[in-house]
Amino acid sequence: MMRAVFQALIGHWRRHLVQLISLLAGLALATALWTGVQAINAQARQSYDQAAGLVQQNQFDRLLATDGGTVDQARYIALRRAGWLVSPVVSEQVETPDGPIRVLGIDPVTAPMAAQPAQIQRDDFDLSAFFARGGVVFAAPDVAERAAARFPDLRVIEDAQVPPNTVLMDVGVAQGALNFGARLSYLIVLPDQPAGLLPLSDLAPDLRLRAGEQGTDIARLTDSFHLNLTAFGLLSFAVGLFIVHSSIGLAFEQRRTTFRTLRAIGVPLRTLFAVLVAEVLVLALIAGAVGVVLGYGIAATLLPDVAATLRGLYGASVGGVLALPPIWWLGGIAIAVLGTLVAAAQSLWRLARLPILAAAKPRAWGHAGPRAWVMPVGAAVGLAVVGAVALRVLPGIAGGFVLLGTGMIAAAILLPVVLAIALHLISGRARAPMAHWFWADTRQQLPGLSLALMALMLALAVNVGVGTMVSSFRQTFTGWLDQRLASELYITAPSAEAAEDLRAWMAARDDIDAALPIWSVEGMLNGAPGQVFGVADHATYRDNWPMLALAPDGWDRLAAGQGVLINEQIYRRDDLDLGELVSLPDGTQMSVLGVYSDYGNPLGQVMIGIDALTARFPNVERLRYALRVEGEQAATIRAAMLRDLEWPEDAVNNQAVVKRVSLQIFERTFQVTAALNILTLGVAAVAMFMSLLTLSSMRLPQVAPVWAVGTTRRDLARLEVLRSAILALFTMVYALPVGLGLAWGLLAVVNVAAFGWKLPMFLFPADWAWLAIWAVLAGVAAAAWPAWRMSRISPSDLLKVFANER
Amino acid sequence: MSVRMILICLACLIGAPAWPQGFAGLGEQADGFAVPARGRALDFPTDHGAHPEYRIEWWYVTANLRGADGRDYGIQWTLFRSALAPVATDGWDSPQIWMGHAAITTPEAHFVAERFARDGVGQAGAIADPYQVWIDDWAMAGADVSDVALRARGDEFSYDLRLSADGPLVAHGDAGYSVKSASGQASYYYSQPFYEVAGTLNLPDGPVAVRGQAWLDREWSSQPLDPGQRGWDWVSLHFDDDARMMGFQLRQEDGDAYTSGTWISPDGGAAPMADGSVILTPLAETTVAGREVPIKWRVEVPARGVDVEITALNPNAWMDTLFAYWEGPVRITGTHNGTGYLEMTGY
């Protein structure tokens, strides 16, 4: 009997092949989205680390030659033999016909792990080939060809893990390739040193220690982005669930007749139930498997770096390479199965309560009256209350996420109600009979379409929300770079004498617009550790510094030494206001003239006029400068400076390059996110398509009279497409505030809970316009085939409506 | 996996966690590397230096010390050489890696440090004459191997000791050819078990003057351990009657073990002990670093009338290095009394 039941049920799919394919496609796409986002998340994390490493490569203390030149290798050995844990580095910019590339030579045996590129930590890495003369070197993809041409004797391997514009090699190979002899660029000083060593100043008077910089800024900023991407993953999956729910619901609905017949001829409910559950499971497994492969495909297509990750399948732990472990693959399928079961639960429950003799006609439409609105409005209010309570009760991020989740579901539930009201208002104003019918008919269809529209709404809202979040993050990050890197060149003189030479050198040139000192001292600010920076009175700061608040004449008074600017961290921590006093490391107090944002910095920071800084802290190190020059001149001036002053190449940074490369890295993640957004929309379009397809076959009784009074089939088909497009547009209009609410929740609630500071929210109306176009296109695409079928429907079928009593 | 793991993996097949005298070098294929041969006489002082044509080599010092404060201490000083290829060159391209382990064990504490170095640039090395074996500021050096200074330093400790031999070098196995399994894998292996020690340990609580006895093991090889061998228990024992013995067992998957050892009479005469002559039986285990490790053993050499119990001075003498193992001083009681060192790998 089981078999007979199975065949009877399967028959449905044979007759509705398109529906089967759509269901599988919807489920597979939803799974693909989920798994794709997981992969992207992992990759994104890696991109930030790269960007962070690039912008702040001076994480470790370094020993540099006092005279600004290179370090004798014998000095390195002598320090090691005196017990100091140091590691040699050769770092040099080399010219190629297509621009400079950076050669970085390290010793993987003594370098601290954090300073080691990921690729040499892989278990298949051949260390002897890395050591050998003419050995293996790793080049960033953007410079691999140039590197191979520049170093024909070396085996250049392209590796996306290498920071952009860099060729990584063994320190000995680098010495050979650069004709360095037995010289080194600098030594990394490891953080933990044995006790009782002789001081460096005795052992190596010709070297000076440059303190490492704290590498926390970008890391914290990007942690926030990562968290938001995780939220995106969850939301994508929620969209997928809606789609699966609607597909399965439709399939059940359409087979009510079959169910009733089967039950009437004696099939026990339990058998029917078991067969249906089995059917759902099989569908979920197939679609889940396809989806996971698809997700991998998405990740691999969008991120070339993921290509090597199939290795993860075999359980090998691949350091530094994005690995998709078996749990990723199984997780994807499990999510598909679980999601399908959850989505099918309602249908199965209905089946269990199906009265054998009740009318088994599929319900093509329901009655959309105010009475039907009570439930969804009540549910939405309930969810809103749950979310608000969760935000207060649950700690940290969890509350924020619950609020977002309940908010989104509540918005989705309310969508049909809002649309019904809107359509009601519009149809009341319609004068022409055709228009009146159009709006009324649209309203009639709403219940059948509501699930698909909810999915579309969620997809659009997620799109708006995540798009806003990503763009706001990008804006913030760009601003963050601009703030710190407003000048064209950044110089760190190797020593006080070298700084004197630099000042003389700069004074003799006329192509340097300004040399802005970057001098700072560390100490206690209002009782907590922080930094005091001196700023010159220059437009660079006045124009670029991201001020949250500024007193009138703030910049003038700052230059006159009458106050300080403080960063957002102190401002929030100590609850300071303009005009209040902040205590400085020298024990004095100054009044607050303004507040600037300083994303990611865990420390308090204060800016005072440069003259005030040197007056209060006469011993401040005067080594660093930011140079304002003509943009095109930066590279030339940098080269001239390095040549004339005989400085190591890392003494001068061309920040246009650093900025460009950092942004490139982030751009890749952003593009991937955008692609995923489109995919989410695609999934929603599939759901709409399925709903319209199903409805179109049930709507003959509504359409036939309109045809009979003289409307052509072609016009009817056009109206179908128009209706779909209008509904999509309405949904978009509704989704916009929901999406902005989502973005606000991510940036201002979740982020604050997780990190204690807000990411500012920026609005991008042009993106919304595009999204609206996409939404309309999705609506048109979904309606196209059903409409085409309607335009080809045979008149006899339409006539049958009047002949048969349905 | 860290780069260091790779360094060592290249030299020592991580799949077989069997590190005779602390290193897994014997568990590798010998392709391209020289292989120990029976009948090759040890050649001094040359053999005190490095043998880069062999895959793996170590200079291994352990010492049982008594402080001026009356307490017992143990120290370890080890330099490992691991070859990626059977050559050594002058410069960064030399395919040899050096690794140092140092430790001080007190009854309550165990301090460990490790170092890594490239070959060919002077950061580490081993020169036979004048005797000089070093990595960074850790060194074992003197005009001759019979009289050396031994230094090492970690984050919380350091030591500075003088080691003077009052007996000859002792060759293990067949004149230095030491067989490691029934199927014939072998290494070159000799010791200096007659060092008298004096010097200073610098501990977090301050310096301690110490005296005692030390034992140097020298071993090099390229050959794989037998695939079925899981781990290694090794002892060096100083008996109060001035006799000494070295014994080890290579534990097999099937529960059996291959044993070997050398009986060293007070005048330095060495008698190899064939498989089965030394019986090592674990008596008590303790949990160290999440593993069950036997820290009390019964050691029997029926042919020599030896039936003793050895007990760890500090059961927590776990070498929490990249390759972790247990290494620490022991007290001997039974038919003979004395002190010694115990090493256990593969737990």
The per-residue pLDDT for range A80-125, each reduced to its tens digit, is 999 999 999 998 888 888 777 888 888 988 887 655 555 555 555 6
- Residue A706 structural domain: 369-485+656-806
Runs of H (alpha helix) within A699-744: 700-708, 713-744
Q: Are residues A663 and A646 in the same domain?
A: no
Q: Are residues A539 and A564 in the same domain?
A: yes
Closest by alpha carbon to B72, among B251, B246, B317? B317
pLDDT at position B12 is: 37
User: Hey, is A569 helix, strand or coil?
Assistant: helix
The per-residue pLDDT for range A598-650, each reduced to its tens digit, is 765 667 889 999 999 999 888 888 888 888 888 788 888 888 888 888 776 66
Instruction: Report the chain A residue with the minimal C-alpha distance to residue B85.
Output: A128
Contacts of B158 in chain A (CB under 8 A): 194-196
Q: Are residues A145 and A114 in the same domain?
A: yes
Say how many C-beta atoms besides its own lie within 10 A of residue A584's C-beta: 23
Q: Do A127 and B92 touch (CB under 8 A)?
A: no
Q: Are residues A500 and A648 in the same domain?
A: yes
* pLDDT band at residue B189 using 50, 70 and 90 as cut-offs: very high
**Cα distance between residue A138 and residue A132, in whole Å:** 14
Q: Are residues A665 and A639 in the same domain?
A: no
Closest by alpha carbon to A90, among A9, A155, A193, A181? A181
Strands A652-654 and A489-492, sheet pairing: antiparallel
User: Hey, is A11 helix, strand or coil?
Assistant: helix
Q: Do B1 and A122 touch (CB under 8 A)?
A: yes
The full 3-state SS of chain B, as one line of letters, equals CCHHHHHHHHHHCCCCCCCHHHCCHHHCCCCCCCCCCCCCCCCCCHHHCCCCCCCEEEEEEEEEEEECCCCEEEEEEEEEEEECCCCCCCCCCCCEEEEEEEEEECCCCEEEEEEEEECCCCCEEEECCCCEEEECCEEEEEEECCEEEEEEECCCCEEEEEEEECCCCEECCECCEEECCCCCCEEEEEEEEEEEEEEEEEECCEEEEEEEEEEEEEEEECCCCCCCEEEEEEEEEEECCCCEEEEEEEEECCCCEEEEEEEECCCCCEEEECCCCCEEEEEEEEEECCEEEEEEEEEEEHHHCEEEEEEECCCCCEECCCCCEEEEEEEEEECCCEEEEEEEECC
**Cα distance between residue B177 and residue B184, in whole Å:** 11
pLDDT at position B113 is: 95
User: Hey, is A534 helix, strand or coil?
Assistant: strand
Range scoring the smallest mean pLDDT among A419-423, A689-693, B272-276: A689-693
Choose the final residue of a domain: A212, A244, A259. Answer: A212
The per-residue pLDDT for range A285-299, each reduced to its tens digit, is 998 888 888 887 777
Provide the strand spans (E) within A518-623. Answer: 519-525, 528-535, 547-550, 564-567, 581-583, 589-596, 604-609
Beta bridge partners of B101: B78, B114
Which residue carries 């959309």 as its tokens? A368
Residue B188 confidence (pLDDT) above 90: yes
Q: Do B122 and A77 touch (CB under 8 A)?
A: yes
CA A339 to each of CA A245, A287, A288, A463, B210: distance values in angstroms, whole numbers, following the listed order? 9, 12, 10, 21, 70
Dihedral of CA atoms B17, B19, B20, B25 in degrees, nearest 10, equals: 110
Q: Are residues A579 and A479 in the same domain?
A: no
Q: Are residues A624 and A661 in the same domain?
A: no
For chain A, the domain total comes to 3
Query: In which element (H, E) is residue A36 found?
Result: helix A17-55
For residue A471, is it within any domain?
A: yes
Q: Is the domain B3-345 a CATH 3.40.50.2300 member?
A: no
Choose the final residue of a domain: A164, A182, A212. Answer: A212
Percent of chain A with pLDDT over 90: 8
Q: Are residues A497 and A612 in the same domain?
A: yes
Better-predicted residue by pLDDT, B94 or A704? B94
For residue A273, is it within any domain?
A: no
ipTM of this complex prediction, to 2 decimal places:
0.90
**Cα distance between residue A259 and residue A370, in whole Å:** 31
The per-residue pLDDT for range A733-788, each reduced to its tens digit, is 999 999 998 888 877 777 666 655 667 788 888 888 888 888 888 888 888 888 88
The per-residue pLDDT for range A39-61, each reduced to its tens digit, is 766 665 655 555 455 444 456 78
Better-predicted residue by pLDDT, A238 or A345? A345
The per-residue pLDDT for range A440-499, each reduced to its tens digit, is 888 888 877 777 788 788 888 888 887 887 778 777 767 766 666 677 888 878 778 888
Residue B38 confidence (pLDDT) above 60: yes
Instruction: Report the chain B residue with the minimal C-alpha distance to residue A73.
Output: B121
Q: Are residues A506 and A605 in the same domain?
A: yes
For residue A257, is it within any domain?
A: no
Q: Do B92 and A171 touch (CB under 8 A)?
A: yes
Residues 115-144 of B with CB under 8 A from A: 116-118, 121-123, 134, 136-137
Closest by alpha carbon to A790, among A731, A725, A672, A707? A707
Q: Are residues A596 and A461 in the same domain?
A: no
For residue A220, is it within any domain?
A: no
The per-residue pLDDT for range A169-214, each reduced to its tens digit, is 899 999 999 998 999 999 989 888 888 888 888 898 888 887 765 4
Better-predicted residue by pLDDT, A37 or A201? A201
**Cα distance between residue A643 and residue A598, in whole Å:** 35
Mean per-residue pLDDT for B279-289?
93
Chain A and chain B share a number of CB contacts under 8 A equal to 94
Contacts of A181 in chain B (CB under 8 A): none
For residue A452, is it within any domain?
A: yes
Paired tokens of A484 = 């710190």
Residue A305 confidence (pLDDT) above 50: no
Q: Do A81 and B123 touch (CB under 8 A)?
A: yes
Choose the final residue of a domain: A185, A212, A239. Answer: A212
